[in-house]
Amino acid sequence: MHEASLARLTVTENLDAWSAYHLGLQHMYRFNRKDNAAAAALFSHAVARDPGFARAHAGLSFVHFQTAFLRNTDDLATEIALARRHAERGVDLDPLDPFVNFTMGRTFWLQGDLDGSLVWLERSTSISPNYAQGIYARGWTEALAGRGLDARGHVDLAMQLSPLDPLYYGMLGTRAFTHMTLGEDAEAAQWAERAARSPGAHVLIAMITAAAQAMAGDEVRAAAWAANVRMRNAALTREDFFRSFPMKSEAVRARVSNALARFGF
């Protein structure tokens, strides 16, 4: 935030790679089309100024990941390939950067490869044991893999380490999902509600909340969150949801699918 504040005082054309990168981060975490495009432009500017800047390549990986993750494209294959390509370039340039390893790990989500994702996320947090976003991403991947208690420990640690994190809503959403995997529906609904009402929460968090409230038996809240999802992206379906969140447990997947189906997804 400090680096971005300094960069805002600079004329855009005069931004150096470091300043452009930090401004890009400010846009990247907002998870909407306009800001994602702005982040992509700033990371590209950083790479043009310094082709060896590994974190700028990782930023480009993140923005392409985001486009595919939120289904903001009709060409998923290209976005997934670009996310992987920029992550690989970042790893080539600086294999010991935790953010670079984090972005590589997240690209495997897009292909449903949770084991492949965990290898890179574990590497990221081994390099930097206090890296909250890496720890959170490990927790989310473990939750999708059906390891709810392991996931809960990691996401709770991430929230303690970074209580003002721009991805804090995702941490809350992961906490909700750990309860969903263990059949603790009332707790899942409470955490999901907190996640969806947090600053920056994207449309898929609202979709998680609709499912969690339906599973907890609160049809009114579930319907309200389903309407919120449709207002923000009317094209989203259950299939999109499960491509973004490739759950290993067939039982949990079936429960979530049935909950979403009740509201037309």
With beta carbons less than 8 A apart as the criterion, state whether 153 and 174 touch: no
Distance CA 159, CA 69 (A): 22
With beta carbons less than 8 A apart as the criterion, state whether 121 and 107 touch: no
Q: For residue 203, give the H/E element and its range.
A: helix 203-215
The pLDDT of residue 22 is 87
DSSP single-letter state for residue 184 = -
Q: Please report how the helices 98-109 and 114-127 are oriented relative to each other, as an axis angle in degrees rounded to 10.
A: 170
CB atoms within 10 A of CB 128: 17
Helix (H, G, I), strand (E, B) or coil at 17: helix
146: left (phi over 0), alpha (psi -120 to 50) or beta: left
Distance CA 116, CA 109 (A): 8
Identity of the amino acid at 204: L
Distance CA 61, CA 39 (A): 11
Q: Convert the pLDDT of each residue in 5-40 to its tens digit.
A: 554 445 445 568 888 898 899 899 988 999 999 999
What pTM did the predictor assign? 0.89
Distance CA 208, CA 190 (A): 12
Q: Convert the pLDDT of each residue in 185-234 to its tens digit.
A: 999 999 999 999 999 999 999 999 999 999 999 999 999 999 999 999 99
Helix (H, G, I), strand (E, B) or coil at 111: coil
DSSP single-letter state for residue 10 = S
Q: Convert the pLDDT of each residue in 175-195 to its tens digit.
A: 999 999 999 999 999 999 999
Q: Convert the pLDDT of each residue in 130-158 to its tens digit.
A: 999 999 999 999 999 999 899 999 999 99
Sequence-ordered strand ranges (E) for 71-165 = none
Residues in the chain, overall count? 265
The pLDDT of residue 11 is 43
State phi, psi for 41 to the nearest 5 degrees.
Answer: -65, -40
Distance CA 36, CA 31 (A): 7
DSSP single-letter state for residue 153 = H
